[in-house]
Chain A
């Protein structure tokens, strides 16, 4: 009974935090800052996939990706594809990645972010409109810096809400 309630709580927490991530993603920042806005949705997704792989898996990643596509006016499937691929890799290396020190973890997460970024880039340029600006890759760097923050605060919340 308590376990079921705990898992429900986790699901709610995940949903709310991902919603928050989506809001951060489209925050109306001034143009100079907007190019640095990291892919919050993916950061949150990775964090969830690392800590509760039983609840947040490929299906969640796919659906969240689809919502992100609609949210940011991409061709449907771009982020769905990227997030699913990244979370798949994430699940494969999850047992090790979870217990890495934070710096090492950040670097690997940056790698995952660039995989997603590359997949979006690739599907985007297949469509026609081109992204040629080098600043397109900047969010990977800011994502690297944001990862400890995301991971620690989400961990704190998860502990508060009784997940392991």
Chain B
């Protein structure tokens, strides 16, 4: 009878009927995941706490320099964004700019050795939803595959069941990057042998699938082997260091595109990185 119940559950879940039950169960086991994660995190935070004053000073200095450079770049970015919107207005196309983000901590647990799934500590209570894109500081990390009220499971782009639509930043060549099951490798199997792609090319999200917003860095091409076959064998390395993740960003795409005639700058720049409005916005994305 219990075997039968298990089979019924298997079928029910595949048909998507067991969602509330699942999220309740996941919430129940979340403390276990927390408990496993805490010691590892404690070690790393202890290492931070006991690092020397000189080390901290140097790091502070470096971060300050970095922030200065980034701020200067951002200054330019704001004007470029405005210009872009204006030009797109002239071309009569609309364009989505600006996403909302929220930081989530990665629990250091290993769910299943053959899948690359992370658990993060923000769930449906914070407006996280299934197939929501997740970024790291430098590039795309993956997407959410399951949420519970308190946690969410993130499928990494390198999982062998994950594919992400990308384009080559240099020339706009579009393709799909699929995971290989190794944390430092993506494969691009759908390119012809004569495709214009070379090592060092940056792959960015193309926005084709409707899940990932366009224009974010995904990977850099490391190896192209095209000889003697109709398909090129292209290997890329993810830009985000997927093995060293401690925090990730959950991203909410803006549901409504920026209008062709730009409003005053304050409105256009509004929702760049804000957390309060995220819950309301996620509602939009869910109903979409």
Asked if B74 is an interface residue, CB under 8 A from chain A, the answer is no
Shortest distance from the beta carbon of B162 to any chain A beta carbon, whole Å: 10
Shortest distance from the beta carbon of A119 to any chain B beta carbon, whole Å: 10
Q: How far is the CA of A111 from the CA of B171 in the complex (A)?
A: 56
Contact A81 B113 (CB under 8 A): no
* A70 closest partner in B (C-beta): B25
* B243 closest partner in A (C-beta): A31
Contact B110 A84 (CB under 8 A): no
Asked if B279 is an interface residue, CB under 8 A from chain A, the answer is no
Contact B108 A28 (CB under 8 A): yes
Contact A80 B9 (CB under 8 A): yes
- Main SS at interface, chain B: helix
Contact B112 A67 (CB under 8 A): no
Interface string of B105-130 (1 = CB under 8 A from A): 00011111111010000000000000
Find B36's partner among A27, A76, A77, A123 (CB 8 Å cutoff): A27
Contact B14 A75 (CB under 8 A): yes
Asked if A152 is an interface residue, CB under 8 A from chain B, the answer is no
Asked if A49 is an interface residue, CB under 8 A from chain B, the answer is no
Interface size classification for chain A? 35 or more
For window 13-29 of chain B, which residues contact chain A by CB distance below 8 Å? 13-14, 18, 21-22, 25-26, 28-29
Contact B6 A80 (CB under 8 A): yes
Interface string of B238-270 (1 = CB under 8 A from A): 000000000000000000000000000000000
For window 28-57 of chain A, which residues contact chain B by CB distance below 8 Å? 28-29, 31, 34-35, 37
Find A31's partner among B3, B14, B113 (CB 8 Å cutoff): B113
A residues apposed to B, CB below 8 Å: 19, 22-23, 26-29, 31, 34-35, 37, 58-59, 61-62, 65-67, 69-78, 80-81, 84-85, 123, 127-129, 131, 133, 135-136
- Known contacts A22-B29, A85-B3; can you find 18 more A-B pairs with CB under 8 A? A26-B36, A26-B110, A27-B36, A66-B25, A70-B25, A70-B28, A71-B32, A73-B111, A75-B14, A76-B10, A76-B22, A77-B9, A78-B6, A78-B10, A80-B5, A84-B3, A133-B181, A135-B113
